[in-house]
A and B are shown apart, each in its own frame.
Chain A
């Protein structure tokens, strides 16, 4: 499926002005749907707050003009290597994950982004033959010392394919709020909490009339927002997003990107994306991975505008990927 979609970045390398490319690139970008006023790129003076000189990237502009006001260290990835059997998927990567920021992991397919993401809440352990070296900490505590179900309530994840559970919208969220497999507390007690979290995920208006609507009958974008609501319900410290928009249409993508930017102050967000423009639109920091290595980590401006590494420059400009 991925291969069928022409990578929009390819054309960008051809034009210096960005004008010819804009018409093509934006055609498949959600930006086309946004009001012109929002099109204006960041009003922040270039270079301020490390956001570099980039005013726009390939027709994409930043979702949020202001960089976040604060950043609290939540997770620390220290020299982590992950192998599947003999195959090394992630090679000694070190990264910080901060609340108040969106961290985007970018890179071509098979570069280990998703593996790294899954290791943050120990989902890699479910894969046979996977092994991890190095240290990942959550608020200073090594995550291997935290009981997995507890860890996964603090570091929740949203997947590429929308995967609401085959029950009502209400129960999807209530299931997460309840203790393990229990059916308590009862519906009435949870109603407020459920509505709250649906509201945070920007889904309440769509579903408030009928919370008993089967979740699998929602649209793809609504399903994905429900999945985000579900992941937010336990009030996690870190939210992991694995290409959350790759199965969605541009309109839904835009709604979810706005949502992500809104959430970044409450929860540390790590997003894996194939879509460079998306990373540009929503991320504060970007980590570029290639063949398991972390090639470059920096602010959006730095990585997209003045990458230090040749490989980053090539990838960002569309020479490969």
Chain B
């Protein structure tokens, strides 16, 4: 209370226009400022144009029924159904990818940030992750088809005789987890490194093990960063097309393999919104632009909502923290 009073009394009155006007700057500085303005507004305009275009196109064609009907073969766009299967496929791929990428990514980040030993191996792992982050997903897809076509992992996809099909939700999810992994590792590491070292020591100094410290203090503190990384990762997964087209078979409907309830779905092929858009784009095989716009609209909405969540989490994570 005392501080409140003090603040009000001693703080000088707010002074408007205290910011120095750029009209007093040298010409070169003013030109620089103008360039910044133009570029900034330009980028915003491009982003807004994309979103507005997709929204306008999407709203024109999106019908609630599209979300609940499966794609079917037909002679014109009114007969070809909706994109229920791709929608389910997108969710399944995202869940599967995250189920792998999240634990692995957090574990790798903890190892790199908290242990970092053996030193050489840690550096090697670091560069490997950077390399994966820089690898085009179509290359990952090719590698994936090689791996998942081998008989050893035949149980993860459809097989006929000795031939392993190599395309399934498992295969796509596993390779897409590699796409999300670098984002999760990077974000989690950043979160861990933002924790001052005296907080770690405080936990050790009351007799806690390193493991208990990581589990109860460090990971909970870094949770906003982990969540941010995970959401960015989900965004990348649901937005990826190359891996899906190559490794999910790009059959528009879900096409299970076997009879076990969930397993058959995961071993089977299907599609996601991205591959649906790819197929139905004016240049694609199916060429049903209205369906493509509608699906793209839904996809865009999903990504926008994800980004919004990232923002919210980041803002909440900024709450109270330690001084360094």
A contact set with B: CB distance below 8 Å: 121, 123, 126, 149-153, 156-157, 159-163, 165-167, 175-176, 180-181, 214, 216-217, 227, 230-231, 233-234, 240, 247
Question: Given A149-B209, A230-B206, do A126 and B201 touch, yes or no (CB 8 Å)?
Answer: yes
Q: Is the CB of B198 within 8 A of A152?
A: no
Q: Is the CB of B206 within 8 A of A159?
A: no
From residue B122, how far is it (CB to closest CB) to chain A in Å? 14
- CB contacts under 8 Å to A, within B176-217, are 196, 198-199, 201-209, 211-212, 215-217
Question: Given A163-B198, A167-B220, do A123 and B205 touch, yes or no (CB 8 Å)?
Answer: yes
Of the candidates A160, A166, A176, A214, the one whose C-beta lies within 8 Å of that of B220 is: A166
CA A157 – CA B198 in complex, angstroms?
11
Q: Is the CB of A161 within 8 A of B323?
A: yes
Q: Is the CB of A163 within 8 A of B320?
A: no
Question: Given A156-B205, A157-B205, do A162 and B216 touch, yes or no (CB 8 Å)?
Answer: no
B contact set with A: CB distance below 8 Å: 196, 198-199, 201-209, 211-212, 215-217, 220-221, 319-324
Collect the chain B residues with CB atoms within 8 Å of residue A157's CB. Answer: 201-202, 205-206
From residue B192, how far is it (CB to closest CB) to chain A in Å? 13
Collect the chain B residues with CB atoms within 8 Å of residue A165's CB. Answer: 199, 202-203, 216-217, 221
Collect the chain A residues with CB atoms within 8 Å of residue B323's CB. Answer: 161-162, 247
Collect the chain B residues with CB atoms within 8 Å of residue A150's CB. Answer: 207
Given A163-B322, A166-B320, A176-B208, 11 more pairs with CB closer than 8 A: A152-B206, A152-B208, A156-B205, A159-B198, A159-B202, A165-B202, A175-B203, A175-B216, A176-B206, A231-B206, A234-B207
Interface of A is mostly: mixed
From residue B114, how far is it (CB to closest CB) to chain A in Å? 11
CA A247 – CA B221 in complex, angstroms?
22
From residue B16, how far is it (CB to closest CB) to chain A in Å? 31
Collect the chain A residues with CB atoms within 8 Å of residue B196's CB. Answer: 161, 163
Q: Looking across the interface, which residue of chain B has its beta carbon closest to that of A181? A: B212
Q: Looking across the interface, which residue of chain B has its beta carbon closest to that of A230? A: B206
Q: Is the CB of B212 within 8 A of A160?
A: no
Of the candidates B198, B205, B211, B319, the one whose C-beta lies within 8 Å of that of A181 is: B211
From residue B7, how far is it (CB to closest CB) to chain A in Å? 15
Of the candidates B202, B209, B217, the one whose C-beta lies within 8 Å of that of A227 is: B202
Collect the chain A residues with CB atoms within 8 Å of residue B211's CB. Answer: 180-181
Collect the chain B residues with CB atoms within 8 Å of residue A160's CB. Answer: 198
From residue B217, how far is it (CB to closest CB) to chain A in Å? 5
